Every structure is written in C-alpha cells, then in structure tokens.
Amino acid sequence: MSSSKLLPGTYTATSVTAFLLQPGQVKTIRACPSTWINESVLSLEPGTVMEADVHNKSVPLENGSLAPIDRLRRERSDSPTPGLVEGTEPGAGQDSAMFVHAQSFEDLTADAEQGQEEEEEEEVREEEGGGDSERTPEIGEPKNEGGGSEETQGPCSKEEEEEEEEGGEAGKPIYSRYGTEEALSSTMGVMMALVSFVEAEKNIIRSIHAEGYKVVFLRKSPLVLVGVSRTRQSERELTRELLYIYYQIISLLTLTQLNHIFQHKQNYDLRRLLAGSEHLTDNLLRLLDQDPGLLLSAVTCLPLPSSSRDVISSSLQAARAKSLVFSILLAGSRLVTLVRKKDQFLHHMDLHLLFNLVGSSSAFREGEGWTPICLPKFNTAGFFHAHISYLEPASELCLILVSTDREDFFNLSDCKRRFLERLRRRSAYQALHEALQAPSYPVSQVGIPDLRHFVYKSKSSGLYTSPEIPVPYQSEEEQERLMGLYQYLHSRMHHPIRPLRSIYRCAEKENLLAWVTSGFELYLCFSPLGTKALAVSAINKLLKWIRKEEDRLFILSPQTY
C-alpha cells in the first residue's frame, strides 16, 4: 500500500486516524461556488431533508428491541458474589432498566455484521506483526466458553501506536481524523480498490493485518469506514469505533436522507452536509480513546444521595409535555437522571451521541439550543428535536429534553422553566450542587491498598462506576494508556471465539484483573507490587463496597412519564 503518509511514527501513542469515503470517483469539486449553492443550498425544500419525524407511524422502528426484556429479579444480596444472576448485581435497577437492553458488546456489533454473515469472510493476513504478544497466549488458553481464566506474566509490551481510517463505497473522502481528505485521496483510492476488488468476488473485506497494523473495514452502504490501528485493540473493538462514527453521521442526517441523497446523486460530496460537524466526530473519537463508557456500552452517574436524585427525577417527571420522550439531566459527562416515556427506551449509544453533542458544542451555554437529532438506535429514519440548555450559565448541569414535535420549542422551554422552579424550592438542589463539587470519588474510599483504579459495570442497568483517575494516570497519554489496557482486557473477555470469564495480567507498570459474570463486568488495575491472591480477594471486598454505595453511585429507580 502506498500509505507511507498514514503510517505512524509521527503520531502519538494512541492516535486514531479515521477516514470516511463515499461513492463516486475521487475528484475535486466546487468549481463554481455560486452555482452549487444555488442548486442545492437553498433549493432544499423545507421538509425534504428534515421532515421525517419520529412519530411517523409508517416508519418501522429499526431495532425490535425497544421493549424491555424481562429478567430475573431475585432478592438483592448484601454480599454479592461473582455468581450473581443478572438483575441482582450491585447497581441493578429496581424497577425497569433505563436503556434498551444492550448489555453486551455483541449487541453493538451485531447489526454491523448483519448481512455479512452469509458472505464469506475475507481476511488477508499478509504477515503477523513480529513478536505479536497478542497471539502467543492463545496457545495455552483454555478453550472453554465458561469459566476460562488466563494468566499472563511478563512485561506487557508497550502500547503500540494506533491509527484508524474509515472509508466508503467508491472513494470520495468524507472525513479523516488526521490529515486532510485531499492529501489522503490516493490512500482512499487504495482502500476503495481493495473493497471493490474483494466485493467483486462476492466477498466482504473485514480487515487486513500487516506489520503490526490492523486495517478494519466497515461497510455500511452507502458509506465505507476504514480504521487503521497499531494498538492492542481487537478488530471488533475497531469495528465498534467505526460504528460509532457511522451513527454519529446518521444522527445528523438520518439514514433515510443519506440513502435518498446517494440514490439521486451517486457522487454527491457528503462533506457539504457534514460541514461544521467535524468537531463532533473529532470529539467522539477522543471520547472513544478516553471514556470507559463507550467501551463498556454503559453510562456513569453523578454520585448523589438517592433521596436527592429521586426528588430531581420527580421534578423532571412533573415538568412534562405531550411531545416529550426523554428528559436527561447531565452534569458534565455524568448522568444525573433520565426520565423516559413509558415503553420508550433510550439506547446507551444514542445517549453517548447526545453526550457528545452537548460536550463538543459551547453554543448551548449562551442560549437555549433547539436542534433536530436522529437517535439511530431508536429509529434511523426520523428526527427528534432536542431542547438543550444549561440550568445556569456557569453551571455544569445541562438539561436535554427530547421531543417529537419540531414546533414545540416554547412548550419545552416552559418545561425547563417549571422544572427549575420546582427544583429550586427543594433542598435537593443544594445537594446537587454539593455533589457537583465532588463529581467523583478517590479509589482510596474503597479501602483496598494496592487498588489503583477500577471500572464496574452493572449489566442490567447499563450503568458503570469508576473512581477518579489516580495520580500515575492523570496525564492524557497515561489516561489513554490505561484505557488501552482496559480495551485490551475487554477485547479478550469478549473474544468472539474464545470469550473469557476472568483474566489476570502482570504488566510492566501495573497488574490487571478483569472479571465478567452474567451480572456485571469488572476491570481492576493494581499497583505492580500486588499479588494475584490479593487481587482476587479484592473483588469481593470491592463488590461489597459497591453494594453499600449503590444508592449513591447508580440510578436504582428510574422514572417514566
């Protein structure tokens, strides 16, 4: 591949390059600015683009998983054991789940692979990376799907560089994380040639492994996304990241509109429609490197006494409007509460897209935002309309009201006013402000000496908790390195052929332990001086602590309208 420009060396340790291509030949466009404005900027009739409303009944909901899934509810145990049944683990909601029940990584990637399953997988393995530490352990690894556990000793080779590219159907670049699309157009051409060459044989190219690089392809017609990476992330992890980027684009345009555009104009330059939204994609890619929530398909909450949280939820619940489907109160990137319409579930991926939208735009601080947004896991065909505003100008508290009616701005604005009025009269508002002073907790609260950091996810509630990043990982590089380690553990635990229940790994600078049961996922990072026995005994202690604190750390009683 003539991809010398792409190859790392110049990139930082966990950089991800992303490209996005679309059909049509690579060519330079925009010959005459005034004419292209004329033909398409203003000639878009109102409604052609954003007319599709979510309440359009004729539109079938994309995923059939909107209904809650009944699950076992047993008595909650005070000293939970790793054998806990799902729904009784610490952090499991008492009533119904808030999110669409997407508890596993497989749920996320399942639809990426729909339609590909019948096709034969084409994997081009040119050469396994020299000294690839990822492949060696497989030899001695138990093959059972159940209680397999693995121990790897020895220095964990330093995180390698990672990049990602994303590309599409016939080669017109849409987005690239590094470099300009134009500069990479020849690389994009190579990508497209590969994709179409393989497809000519009725196969689908999924990945290329060469010289320590993984090149992962995600084909979501009419787009092709390509990721190039040199980190430990597995192919599936990279695919998941690409899928996020894809959904990010869908959330701005809807799939219906995207298809419509390319049906009518094969070589349409999608960058025109995505102009001004690059920062959203950039920020999303950053989150993918840093936020365990996107890795675990889960959301974290602002620690808050449950009594205060309940008051806030009921205040939010009281300020309802007919068109309101979801009300979400955020503190930074943490969930304070979420109220949903009965029988409507929000997928955590959609929630992450909303978080990303709010987190990457400063504009909502100045006034009330009102924007069409597609929540692709809910329905790829239509737009919701989101009222986004901060409770107070300098506050971290951001309220997102998701409505189905694009003319309902003033109603929702009034909902916000009523919510705020009600909340201000209650002491919970004070408690909320106090909680904002300490949005996280130090790991020392848990009282396990060698424990540096952990991530615990309750599968049934789709919520996770994690202490603040401790001292050795506070720099951005170190934080991403820690995330990289978790990513590695995660990909081992969720390996498509040989999933693991637990893994203990002594790395150069830390010891790692991961434990997955039907109820939870737990990833721990210990100081390198700890032992395996201590690490294993820490699990029970930690679970007890989480059980004790679950009222504060999780949302146990979600509200509906």
Partner 1 sequence: MAEKKVGSRREFLGKASALRVKMVILGSSGVGKSSLALRFSKDEFKNSSPTVGCAYLTQVVCLHDVTLRFEIWDTAGQEKYHSVTPLYYRGAHAALVVYDISKRESFVRAQLWLRELEKHYIPGETVVGLVGNKTDLPNIRQVSLQEGQSLAESKGLVFMETSAKSGEQTSELLLNIAHRVNQRTMDKDRDLTEWREAECVELYQGNRPHPLTACCPIGP
DSSP letter, residue 396 = S
As measured in angstroms, the least distance from the Cβ of 324 to partner 1 is 17
Omega before 499 within 30 of 0, i.e. cis: no
Instruction: Please report, as ranges, the residues that interact with partner 1 according to CB under 8 A.
Output: 33-34, 37-38, 40-42, 44-51, 252-253, 272-277, 279, 357, 360-364, 366-373, 386, 388, 406-407, 409, 413-414, 417, 421
**DSSP one-letter string for 89-116:** STT--SS--SB----SHHHHHHHHHTTT
Those residues whose C-beta lies under 8 Å from the C-beta of residue 325, and which sit 6 or more positions away, are 54, 340, 341, 344, 384, 402, 403, 404
Residue the block writes with tokens 């202490």:
467
For partner 1, the closer of residues 252 and 535 by Cβ is 252
For partner 1, the closer of residues 253 and 546 by Cβ is 253
Residue the block writes with tokens 């492949």:
135
As measured in angstroms, the least distance from the Cβ of 363 to partner 1 is 5
For partner 1, the closer of residues 147 and 276 by Cβ is 276
Report the DSSP pairing between strands 559-560 and 203-210.
Answer: unpaired
For partner 1, the closer of residues 266 and 371 by Cβ is 371
For partner 1, the closer of residues 227 and 372 by Cβ is 372
List residues bridging with 390 in a β-sheet.
Answer: 398
Report the DSSP pairing between strands 559-560 and 334-340.
Answer: parallel
Residue the block writes with tokens 């497809």:
199
As measured in angstroms, the least distance from the Cβ of 188 to partner 1 is 22
As measured in angstroms, the least distance from the Cβ of 459 to partner 1 is 32
As measured in angstroms, the least distance from the Cβ of 285 to partner 1 is 16
C-alpha–C-alpha distance, residues 189 and 195, integer Å: 10
For partner 1, the closer of residues 400 and 446 by Cβ is 400
At 70, list the tokens.
Answer: 């009944």
As measured in angstroms, the least distance from the Cβ of 432 to partner 1 is 20
For partner 1, the closer of residues 51 and 119 by Cβ is 51
For partner 1, the closer of residues 222 and 530 by Cβ is 222
As measured in angstroms, the least distance from the Cβ of 417 to partner 1 is 7
For partner 1, the closer of residues 78 and 407 by Cβ is 407
Those residues whose C-beta lies under 8 Å from the C-beta of residue 353, and which sit 6 or more positions away, are 247, 248, 251, 284, 373, 375, 376
Burial 351-375 (b: 16+ CB within 10 A, else e): bbbbbbbbbbbeebeeeebbbbbbb
For partner 1, the closer of residues 405 and 551 by Cβ is 405
Q: Quick one: which of 359, 229, 344 has its CA closest to 293?
A: 359
At 20, list the tokens.
Answer: 């996005």
As measured in angstroms, the least distance from the Cβ of 268 to partner 1 is 12
As measured in angstroms, the least distance from the Cβ of 381 to partner 1 is 15
At position 55, the amino acid (one-letter code) is: H
For partner 1, the closer of residues 213 and 370 by Cβ is 370
At position 328, the amino acid (one-letter code) is: I
C-alpha–C-alpha distance, residues 326 and 421, integer Å: 19
4: left (phi over 0), alpha (psi -120 to 50) or beta: alpha
Those residues whose C-beta lies under 8 Å from the C-beta of residue 293, and which sit 6 or more positions away, are 299, 300, 333, 348, 352, 464
Compute CA distances 117 → 377, 496, 557, whole Å: 21, 14, 39
Omega before 222 within 30 of 0, i.e. cis: yes
C-alpha–C-alpha distance, residues 169 and 19, integer Å: 12
For partner 1, the closer of residues 38 and 475 by Cβ is 38
C-alpha–C-alpha distance, residues 33 and 24, integer Å: 20
DSSP reduced 3-state for 228: strand
